[in-house]
Amino acid sequence: MKISAFAIPEIIPGKQNVKNDKLDQADKLVKAKKKTYPQVELVSEDAALDADIIIIPKDAKTDLILRDLDFVETRLAKAPQDKEKIILDKMKSVLEKEDFISAIGLTDQEKEVVSGYGLLTLKPVIVINKEELENMGVLLARVLAESGFISFLTVGDKENRAWLIKKGTTAWVAAGAIHSDIQQGFIRAEIISFADFISHGGETGAKQAGLMRLEQKDYIMQDADLVNFRFNK
């Protein structure tokens, strides 16, 4: 997961842990040797095209929009075919309103048409205030949440850990976030909702109350689900 700091020279590129309050709560109930937060890589403005998310201060928002608008207008001037022109016109309209292309909600097919354009605001762009830089862990948690990311939790034994996934991810895809072998050998996902886990004092209490569910590959993961994946080794 790469996050580009656009026009924010105060941010030094590198790995950064993202604070997760729900992992902290789970860690108090289930002891493990290690607690591991999700980690992201902060990259510079020069690497924005390779980033998954862009963060930018409010006073630099217009500069980012103008970059994309200039490209879109240049493409339109070349009289593209109807399919491309419709998408370009749609993007031009939203950019002229000083909004990001991501606000349009392009379909997968439309994104395919413009995938090679290098449009920055097609990515999630989060506008921040400079004072938020004082607590990067909290800021990055907000950035991920507003960009549509959640975490699921695994607890016990050696490590309590939060795993970062996109909202709407299935249990099968989530298994692959841990290891491809777990995904390939997927049998079932043992799921305890975070609310049930906390209210019953941890995994044992939730299981005794009959609140652990066996879910299949197509189960849509919920934020802070407690998960144990059953798989063929």
SS (H, E, C) the chain: CEEEECCCCCCCCEEEECCCHHHHHHHHHCCCCEEECCEEEEECHHHHHHCCEEEEEHHHHHHHHHHHHHHHHHHHCCCCCHHHHHHHHHHHHHHHCCCCHHHCCCCHHHHHHHCCCCCHHHCCEEEECHHHHHCHHHHHHHHHHHCCEEEEEECCCCEEEEEEEECCCEHHHHHHHHCHHHHHCEEEEEEECHHHHHHCCCHHHHHHCCCCEEECCCCECCCCCEEEEEECC
Between CA 19 and CA 136 the distance in angstroms is 9
Question: How far does Cα 111 stand from its chain's mean position?
Answer: 18
Question: All domains of the chain, ordered by start, with CATH?
Answer: 2-128 (1.10.150.300), 168-231 (3.10.20.30)
Q: Ramachandran region of residue 24, left (φ > 0), alpha (ψ -120 to 50) or beta?
A: alpha
188 contacts 231 by C-beta, under 8 angstroms: no
* Phi, psi of 149, rounded to the nearest 5 degrees: -110, 145
Query: What is the pLDDT, as a whole number, of residue 116?
Result: 87
pLDDT of the residue at 114: 86
> What was the pLDDT predicted at 157?
81
pTM of the model: 0.86
Give me the tens of pLDDT residue by residue for the chain, a chain 233 residues long: 999 999 999 999 999 999 899 999 999 999 899 999 999 999 999 999 999 999 999 999 999 999 999 999 999 998 888 888 999 999 999 999 999 999 888 888 888 888 889 999 999 999 999 889 988 888 999 999 999 999 999 998 899 999 999 999 999 999 999 999 999 999 999 999 999 999 999 999 999 999 999 999 999 999 999 999 999 98
